[in-house]
Chain A
Amino acid sequence: MSAAVTEPPASLAEDSPRGIDWSLVLRQITGIMRLELRRNLFSRRAFALYFLAFSPLPFFMLWAIMARREITYHEFDIEGPAQAVAGPFTFTFVLYVGSMLFLSALITFMSLYRTEILERSLHYYYLTPVRRWVLVVGKYCSALIASCTVFAVATAALFFLTCIPWGFGEMNRYLFSGPGLGNLVAYLGIAVLGCVGYGAVFLLVGLFFRNAIAPAALIWGWEAINFLLPPLLQKISVIHYLKALFPIPPSETFVAVITNPTSPWISVPGLLIFTALVLAFAGWRARHMEISYGGE
């Protein structure tokens, strides 16, 4: 053991100007993401993310095998994949976003603070020279990268499994000579924006609630009845913005469009603004949070 006193390197200037040093903030966010990405992708917590994202995969594989056996020669045209995407895929994807992605965001983003409070390790972050909003952003970004990556891969896999019964040739024609690629990008966009929106909401919920069940049920109910709400209240939800992005409008699901859907040019920035407001509130909450772990 050495009793010598050492000075820290100069990269963290103690008497730095009072303004925000953005290069330092970027390094801090990178440092937070290094820690959090490992947890979000390779820990027990990640199991829920993988399970929920890929849980429809076996059913789609089964469906693909059965569909392949039933398809006749005459059905080998571009309409086959297009109809499958418009029908079973869109219907399932709506449910997928409303259940699997919703639940995954609930577990992943709510855990960002809750798990660390339960494990009594959040104070290590709170004892670093990091602004609380920087911590919120770092944790959010890491969970977002993990969720978006996994759900984008899963969405693409489900999409290809929907098209594959008609063979690679038809699938290629549908993708590159038809609306397929545009549709795929739209569904990927919905998955990513779903993670963005629900992620911010559940990060905030995790900063307020110990038990996830009640707030999760409330939010799920709010999202489900969104189309019944007055136009102003509809804007305070994630599904309101997502439903405008569906390339093929789902008509018989809980995102049924009763009012006129918002244009994607409004809904995407709308969702991003909604997310930014939720994150700003989360940052405020994180700043005023106390770490006592008592009664957890």
Chain B
Amino acid sequence: MAVEEKNAIVFDNVSKFYGEVLGINRVTLTFEPGITGLVGPNGSGKTTLMNLMTGLLHPTQGEIRVLGESPDHPERLFSRLGYCTQFDSFPAGMNGYQFIYSFLRVHGFTASEAKKLSWQALERVGLEGAAKRRVAGYSKGMRQRVRLAQAISHGPRVLVLDEPLNGLDPMARAEVIEVFQALAEAGCHLIISSHILHEVDMISDRVVLLSSGYVVAEGEIGGVRSETMEEHPIQVLIRCDKPSLVASRLFEQDHVVEATLHDDHGGLEVRTRDADRFYTLLGEVVLAEEVKIETVTVADADVRAVYEYLIGNEGEGR
């Protein structure tokens, strides 16, 4: 086994069918350390992918390796993997501390270790004050956080999070994202599914776009966006003092497919199929014509744009 594979999550031609219903089909992916966002509409296969990764489901065909281990061996896998599922349910009658402590004991930790780890995890998600309250009385956001605490309590190297930002208020969201980023910086794998696209964009190093059980695109956002540029030219907003001049100079190039002046004559919107050549040209025009640039903004190089271009109407309403 390659050294790289021991530090990666690998899907090799994996398919999962629920009877005749397709879950995911022929997925071949490699997840490297860092934050990977899983994006796709309902039923696209995000949760199936996560459940396969964690052994809750078994693939119909293909092979999965998580840090070199098969998900069929929980005794080896789950000391290194934590999974915060979407299931908003808990064992009955427990408080937040008992919930985390009890399952750490099931891991095999001693009482003192489990106690220490439970409090550490609760502190990390800001729930130490509510630790002795019944989970049944928690708000949705608190339940989400206590499940996150349970998933990270044993110090996993791989953290799989299914819609982890659901139900969190903006403050808690920011704090949880901070925890994710700290874990990623420490070399952990974080696989995060979310329908909040701008947050996926903000926190993910890479994205995997899924649609109807197929991987539509994967990689760094910029790279994925570049691949779609031929069909969906990139859109750049420029605020400057000579928009008409800039528009005429830029429009001479074959990769610039559209240039529209703003109504206030204080800027323009350009669509181009070649971002690199565009920026080089823009620099030359600015220097040659002594144009004063206020801002240059790419309007559609984020996950949302990629999502809309690649998945389109399927994901409407999300």
Contacts and interface: CB of A to CB of B under 8 A. Distances in A.
Interface of A: 1-9, 11-12, 14, 18, 24, 27-28, 30-32, 34-35, 38-39, 43, 116, 119-121, 123-132, 287-288, 290-294
Contact of A126 (B56, B125, B188): B56
B306 to A, nearest CB: 28
B117 interface: yes
Nearest to B182: A3
Contact of B90 (A8, A121, A290): A121
A2 B123 CA distance: 6
B126 to A, nearest CB: 4
B278 interface: no
A31 B106 contact: yes
B182 A128 contact: no
A105 B200 CA distance: 49
A132 B74 contact: yes
A31 B124 contact: no
A32 B106 contact: yes
A293 B87 contact: yes
Interface stretch (B77-85, B234-242, B268-276, B291-299): B77-85
A121 B91 contact: yes
18 contacts: A1-B172, A3-B179, A3-B181, A4-B124, A5-B186, A9-B109, A27-B109, A31-B104, A32-B106, A119-B91, A121-B89, A128-B78, A129-B76, A129-B79, A130-B106, A292-B18, A292-B51, A292-B56
Given A2-B123, A11-B108, A129-B78, 16 more contacts: A1-B123, A1-B172, A3-B178, A5-B186, A8-B79, A11-B113, A31-B103, A39-B91, A121-B91, A124-B91, A126-B74, A128-B78, A128-B106, A130-B74, A292-B57, A293-B87
A27 B75 CA distance: 13
Contact of A125 (B82, B106, B188): B106
Contact of A5 (B74, B103, B125, B182): B182
Interface string B57-84: 1100000000000001011111111110
Top 10 A-B residue pairs of the complex, sorted by shortest distance between their CB atoms: A31-B105, A8-B155, A3-B182, A1-B126, A129-B78, A120-B89, A31-B106, A1-B175, A5-B186, A291-B56
A150 B109 CA distance: 30
Contacts of B81: 127
B183 interface: yes
Interface in B157-210: 172, 175-176, 178-179, 181-183, 185-186, 188
B219 to A, nearest CB: 26
A1 B113 contact: no
B54 interface: yes
Scoring A2, A32, A38 by chain B CB atoms within 10 A of each residue's CB, the highest score goes to A2
B179 A1 contact: yes
A124 B87 CA distance: 10
Contacts of B92: 39, 43, 119
Nearest to B77: A129
A127 B51 CA distance: 10
Interface of B: 18, 51, 54-58, 72, 74-83, 85, 87, 89-93, 102-110, 113, 116-117, 120, 123-126, 150-151, 154-155, 172, 175-176, 178-179, 181-183, 185-186, 188
Contacts of A43: 92-93
B87 A27 contact: no
A126 B77 CA distance: 11
A115 to B, nearest CB: 9
A94 B116 CA distance: 51
Contacts of A1: 123-126, 172, 175-176, 178-179
A128 B74 contact: yes
Nearest to B127: A1
B80 A14 contact: yes
B55 A126 contact: yes
B38 to A, nearest CB: 18
Contacts of A291: 51, 56-57
A55 B179 CA distance: 54
A7 B116 CA distance: 12
Nearest to A288: B58
Contacts of A123: 56, 83, 85, 87
Nearest to A18: B76
A2 B122 CA distance: 9
B108 A12 contact: yes
Contacts of A294: 18
Contact of B102 (A2, A31, A292, A293): A31
A130 B106 CA distance: 8
A290 B57 contact: yes
Nearest to A44: B92
A46 to B, nearest CB: 12
A14 B186 CA distance: 17
A28 B79 CA distance: 13
Given A1-B125, A9-B113, A129-B79, A290 B58 contact: yes
A293 B56 CA distance: 11
Contacts of A132: 74
